[in-house]
Amino acid sequence: MAIASLRRLCGTLAVLATAAGTVYAGPTVEDALKLKPTQKDVEYVTPEKADIEGCTIKAEKTGGQTGWVIRDKAGQVLRRFLDTNADNVVDQWSYFLDGLEVYRDIDSDFNGKQDQHRWFNTAGMRWGVDTNEDGKIDYWKAISAEEVSAEIVAALADRDAARFARLVLSSEEVKTLGLSDARVKDIATKAAGATEEFRKVATGTKTLTSASRWLQFGGTRPGVVPVGTDGSTQDLTVFENGVAVVQTGEKTAQLQIGTMIRVGDAWRLIGAPGIVGENEVLGYFFTARNAERTEEGNATNPAGGPPQPLLSKLDQIDKELEQTANPQQQAKLTADKAAVIEQIVEAVNSADDRALWTRQLADMISAAVQSNVWPEGVEKLKTLYMSLAKDPAGEELAAYVEFRYLTAEYGRALSSGAPFDKVQANWLASLEKYVQDRPKSADTAEAMLQLAIAQEFAGQEAEAKTWYGQIRDRFSDSPTAKKAAGALTRLDSVGKVIRLRGTNVADRKPIDLAQFKDKVVLIQYWATWCEPAKIDLAQIKEMQAKYGKDGLAILGVSLDAKPEDLVDYLKQNRLPWPQIFEPGGLDSRLANEMGILTLPTMILVGKDGRVVNRGIHITELEREVGNLLSTPQAKK
């Protein structure tokens, strides 16, 4: 049945009852579940075909409004299609995930066409308006700064200028900000040219491709430009120097968001984004005025940002690093790169820009030390950290660099041949001191995670759970908290039902662990780059061939960085069980939900859906499966 026909079928409530109370048949569960959100980036639950029989669709009242409600066999809401104005026609279509409404299509003018699209609860706060009712969002009524950054990345990946344009401050909105006439004119001019600048960035970038994906958003806190600044008549909330981390294959890049201004419940852009290393952008409000810079400085550094000659030199070094495999040459080029970035730090005018480039310097050196490309860089990091530590105003930046120094020092020690127990003891002691000295640092959560991991691997699970719990409670908004919460779920999972949902890479259909009813299920977390995991696959194949007919099911969870690696491997190595995948590798949702820290990790689930073993080794598998399956063949 066509979707348009389905919308008409589910769009009328007149079939619910006549005036005499006679009830007629409504839409079937199967037909109702074929409806999909108008916008494509929505994660919601759709039951497997085998589970649809247990679902129900009934007319219910919700807040005094009547509609069709679809529930799964456990009674949890999957969909809700409401008539909000009592005209017997559906005008609100809602989709659910884990019992929470995450998305809603709305026909607000009751003309039979959807014109608003909203995300809720764990899906965020976006509220898009489709003024011409063509299925495409025309502007955002509400959107967070983080969601703006994700939209920009998606627009760049698709080279979609229209998607970017709906994020830009309009000329009408500029006039509501209470700024001086000169500022209004200046910002309006910048905003008017933003989309064209975006097109240049999108077509010219070599860093971002159609495979690029948004990972996370970070930056300093938003600031308020107070009333009276340059003749303004009201406070203005501004977010500058925010950075989105973007993943393309195994590489990551930083995307500078530029200046965002809060207008009502939405954040608006006034210019195009910049890609670190390609076309950096500066903030508008919190950066020193061009007029305060010297004419000589403007010649090579027109916006107070990195001088173009230094950026060109940096780009040349990166190209040479890509082309050489000689260790001595790599070390020399890395040292040269560090020196150039240090010059950039000295050249930029704003404190925010200096901090941004200092962070990049620390990240680069730490990575080079840990990969053994430039072990001597650890001394450079130590010097940098100690110089920053002397400035009380730079505590946050000093903490950032210190953590990279500690990590680099640990990496160098590991590759030095020193006794592991001594290296590990020093590492843990330095982490504990960092946590004590830097209780509110952004990296403290990561330091605590490293301590938790070490305790867990040492068999000290009570201590590990204490660290995981502190991360979850003290840093609840951080990505690390998701990993910590997942680790607690995993450690406490024996005897409990766990949740695992994803999409099968073979047929793109959703898979839910709950669908393996009355099966013993082996969940294997693995990746094509993990040799021990690939070695285990041969024995898992034998186990499935031997016990599959008796009730053993296998579910693979790939934590590869990109889907191409998994797909290519499966073409050459057939695995006769489903594989689910989401981008992000060990930082993906699939990894974080169970706090997966190392590969391979295998979890064994009994027929009742409860975890039997949360970390089963391949050598234990035959015995454990034999105990769980009741057939004579299984117990042989």
pLDDT in tens, 168-220: 998 889 988 988 888 888 898 888 888 988 998 888 888 888 888 898 887 76
Give me the pLDDT at residue 278, please.
Answer: 79
Residues composing the chain? 636
- Cα 361 from Cα 366, distance rounded (Å): 9
The average pLDDT across 485-502 equals 96
What DSSP character marks residue 390? Answer: T
Q: Are 581 and 502 in contact, with CB atoms under 8 Å apart?
A: yes
Report in angstroms the alpha-carbon separations of 236 from 55, 118, 175, 267, 539: 50, 26, 13, 12, 63
Output the 3-class SS for 427-453.
HHHHHHHHHHHCCCCCCHHHHHHHHHH
Q: Are strands 65-71 and 56-62 parallel, antiparallel or unpaired?
A: antiparallel
pLDDT in tens, 21-41: 333 456 889 989 999 999 988
Q: Domain residue spans in the chain?
A: 3-136, 144-286, 293-442, 501-635
**In the predicted model, is pLDDT for residue 632 greater than 60?**
no
**In the predicted model, is pLDDT for residue 288 greater than 50?**
no
- What strands, in cross-sheet order, belong to the sheet with 611-613? 579-581, 552-558, 520-526, 601-605, 611-613
Confidence grade of residue 342 (pLDDT, cut at 50, 70, 90): very high
**In the predicted model, is pLDDT for residue 387 greater than 50?**
yes
Report in angstroms the alpha-carbon separations of 138 from 34, 131, 166, 210, 452: 26, 6, 6, 23, 46
- Cα 298 from Cα 69, distance rounded (Å): 64
Cα angle 431, 436, 438 (rounded to 5 degrees) comes to 90
- Cα 275 from Cα 246, distance rounded (Å): 10
The average pLDDT across 319-328 equals 88
- Radius of gyration in angstroms for the set of CA atoms belonging to the chain, rounded to a whole number: 28
Give me the pLDDT at residue 10, please.
Answer: 45
- Cα 573 from Cα 621, distance rounded (Å): 22
pLDDT in tens, 543-581: 999 999 999 999 999 999 878 889 999 999 999 999 999
Supply φ then ψ for residue 216, to 5 degrees.
-160, 170
Q: Which of 115-119, 448-452, 504-508 has the lowest mean pLDDT?
A: 504-508
What DSSP character marks residue 515? Answer: G
pLDDT in tens, 421-439: 999 999 999 999 999 999 9
Confidence grade of residue 301 (pLDDT, cut at 50, 70, 90): low
pLDDT in tens, 74-130: 899 999 999 988 888 899 999 999 889 999 999 998 888 999 999 999 899 999 999
CB neighbourhood size of 328 (10 A): 8
Q: Long-range CB contacts (< 8 A, 24+ apart) of 250-254?
A: 250/561, 250/562, 252/215, 253/207, 253/208, 253/212, 253/277, 254/360
Q: Which two tokens stand for residue 632?
A: 């004579």
Q: Which CATH superfamily is domain 501-635 in?
A: Glutaredoxin (3.40.30.10)
What do you get for the CA distance between the two ends of the chain, in Å? 51
- Cα 285 from Cα 221, distance rounded (Å): 14
Output the 3-class SS for 4-46.
HHHHHHHHECCCCCCCCCCCCCCCCHHHHHCCCCCCCCCCCCC
Report in angstroms the alpha-carbon separations of 583 from 52, 247, 371, 457: 28, 9, 24, 26
- Sequence-distant (6+) residues with CB within 8 A of 98 are 45, 76, 122, 499
- Sequence-distant (6+) residues with CB within 8 A of 275 are 201, 205, 207, 208, 253, 254, 255, 256
Mean pLDDT (the chain) is: 87
**In the predicted model, is pLDDT for residue 291 greater than 60?**
no
The average pLDDT across 287-316 equals 59
The average pLDDT across 518-531 equals 95
- Cα 120 from Cα 108, distance rounded (Å): 17
Report in angstroms the alpha-carbon separations of 467 from 82, 488, 588: 45, 10, 21
- Cα 56 from Cα 52, distance rounded (Å): 8
CB neighbourhood size of 516 (10 A): 19
Helix (H) or strand (E) holding 524: strand 520-526
- Cα 64 from Cα 43, distance rounded (Å): 28
